[in-house]
Amino acid sequence: MADRISLRNMVFYAYHGAYAVEHELGRRFEVDVDLYTDVRAASASDELALTINYADVYAVVKQIVEGGPHKLLETVAETVAARILAAFPAKRVTVRVRKPHAPVGGPVDYVEVEITRPA
Protein backbone atom coordinates (compact mmCIF):
# COMPACT_ATOMS: atom_id res chain seq x y z
CA MET A 1 0.00 0.00 0.00
CA ALA A 2 1.22 3.48 -0.79
CA ASP A 3 -0.23 6.86 0.02
CA ARG A 4 0.14 9.82 -2.33
CA ILE A 5 1.67 13.24 -1.79
CA SER A 6 1.01 15.61 -4.70
CA LEU A 7 2.46 18.95 -5.71
CA ARG A 8 0.26 20.42 -8.42
CA ASN A 9 0.88 23.07 -11.03
CA MET A 10 4.29 24.27 -9.94
CA VAL A 11 5.13 27.08 -12.37
CA PHE A 12 8.62 27.97 -13.57
CA TYR A 13 10.17 30.11 -16.29
CA ALA A 14 12.76 28.16 -18.27
CA TYR A 15 14.47 27.74 -21.63
CA HIS A 16 13.65 24.20 -22.79
CA GLY A 17 12.70 23.41 -26.35
CA ALA A 18 13.76 21.98 -29.68
CA TYR A 19 14.08 25.39 -31.33
CA ALA A 20 16.84 27.96 -30.80
CA VAL A 21 14.32 30.74 -30.17
CA GLU A 22 12.94 28.78 -27.18
CA HIS A 23 16.42 28.74 -25.65
CA GLU A 24 16.71 32.49 -26.17
CA LEU A 25 13.28 33.71 -25.08
CA GLY A 26 12.19 31.05 -22.63
CA ARG A 27 8.64 30.37 -21.55
CA ARG A 28 6.43 29.16 -18.74
CA PHE A 29 6.49 25.48 -17.73
CA GLU A 30 4.12 23.71 -15.34
CA VAL A 31 5.00 20.60 -13.35
CA ASP A 32 2.99 18.14 -11.27
CA VAL A 33 4.59 15.52 -9.03
CA ASP A 34 2.89 12.59 -7.31
CA LEU A 35 5.01 10.75 -4.75
CA TYR A 36 3.81 7.39 -3.47
CA THR A 37 4.97 6.58 0.03
CA ASP A 38 3.65 5.37 3.38
CA VAL A 39 2.56 8.32 5.54
CA ARG A 40 1.20 6.35 8.52
CA ALA A 41 4.16 6.99 10.84
CA ALA A 42 4.14 10.70 10.02
CA SER A 43 0.39 11.07 10.48
CA ALA A 44 0.46 9.18 13.78
CA SER A 45 3.31 11.27 15.19
CA ASP A 46 2.61 14.59 13.41
CA GLU A 47 6.37 14.85 12.75
CA LEU A 48 7.69 16.39 9.54
CA ALA A 49 10.86 14.31 9.76
CA LEU A 50 8.79 11.15 9.16
CA THR A 51 7.35 12.23 5.82
CA ILE A 52 8.51 13.83 2.60
CA ASN A 53 8.97 17.57 3.02
CA TYR A 54 6.99 19.32 0.26
CA ALA A 55 9.30 22.33 0.30
CA ASP A 56 12.30 20.09 -0.33
CA VAL A 57 10.55 18.44 -3.28
CA TYR A 58 9.66 21.85 -4.70
CA ALA A 59 13.29 22.97 -4.40
CA VAL A 60 14.51 19.91 -6.32
CA VAL A 61 11.97 20.42 -9.10
CA LYS A 62 12.75 24.15 -9.32
CA GLN A 63 16.49 23.50 -9.58
CA ILE A 64 16.01 21.06 -12.45
CA VAL A 65 13.36 22.93 -14.42
CA GLU A 66 15.07 26.30 -14.10
CA GLY A 67 18.49 24.73 -14.70
CA GLY A 68 20.28 24.08 -17.94
CA PRO A 69 18.06 23.92 -20.99
CA HIS A 70 16.96 20.62 -22.52
CA LYS A 71 15.45 20.04 -25.93
CA LEU A 72 12.77 17.63 -24.71
CA LEU A 73 10.12 17.70 -22.01
CA GLU A 74 10.82 13.99 -21.72
CA THR A 75 14.35 14.75 -20.52
CA VAL A 76 13.08 17.26 -17.95
CA ALA A 77 10.53 14.74 -16.62
CA GLU A 78 13.08 11.89 -16.42
CA THR A 79 15.57 14.11 -14.60
CA VAL A 80 12.96 15.23 -12.08
CA ALA A 81 11.80 11.64 -11.46
CA ALA A 82 15.34 10.29 -11.02
CA ARG A 83 16.39 13.06 -8.64
CA ILE A 84 13.24 12.71 -6.53
CA LEU A 85 13.63 8.95 -6.24
CA ALA A 86 17.27 9.38 -5.24
CA ALA A 87 16.51 12.02 -2.61
CA PHE A 88 13.23 10.94 -1.02
CA PRO A 89 11.72 7.71 0.37
CA ALA A 90 9.09 7.33 -2.35
CA LYS A 91 8.08 3.93 -3.73
CA ARG A 92 7.28 5.47 -7.09
CA VAL A 93 6.83 8.88 -8.63
CA THR A 94 4.70 10.33 -11.41
CA VAL A 95 5.91 13.53 -13.06
CA ARG A 96 3.95 15.65 -15.52
CA VAL A 97 5.67 18.50 -17.37
CA ARG A 98 3.51 20.91 -19.37
CA LYS A 99 4.46 23.55 -21.89
CA PRO A 100 1.57 25.97 -22.43
CA HIS A 101 1.09 27.27 -25.97
CA ALA A 102 3.88 25.09 -27.37
CA PRO A 103 4.99 25.92 -30.91
CA VAL A 104 3.27 23.05 -32.74
CA GLY A 105 2.01 24.93 -35.78
CA GLY A 106 -1.43 25.79 -34.45
CA PRO A 107 -3.47 26.62 -31.36
CA VAL A 108 -2.97 24.30 -28.41
CA ASP A 109 -3.50 24.87 -24.70
CA TYR A 110 -0.41 22.87 -23.80
CA VAL A 111 1.64 19.78 -24.53
CA GLU A 112 2.38 17.44 -21.65
CA VAL A 113 4.68 14.54 -20.92
CA GLU A 114 3.74 12.20 -18.08
CA ILE A 115 6.03 9.48 -16.75
CA THR A 116 5.80 7.09 -13.81
CA ARG A 117 8.93 5.48 -12.40
CA PRO A 118 9.38 2.97 -9.56
CA ALA A 119 12.00 3.38 -6.85
Q: Hey, which residues are catalytic here?
A: 99
**Measured CA distances, 1 to 23, 46, 51, 85, 117 (Å):** 42, 20, 15, 17, 16
What is the distance between the alpha carbons of residues 24 and 21, in angstroms, rounded to a whole number? 5
What is the distance between the alpha carbons of residues 61 and 6, in angstroms, rounded to a whole number? 13
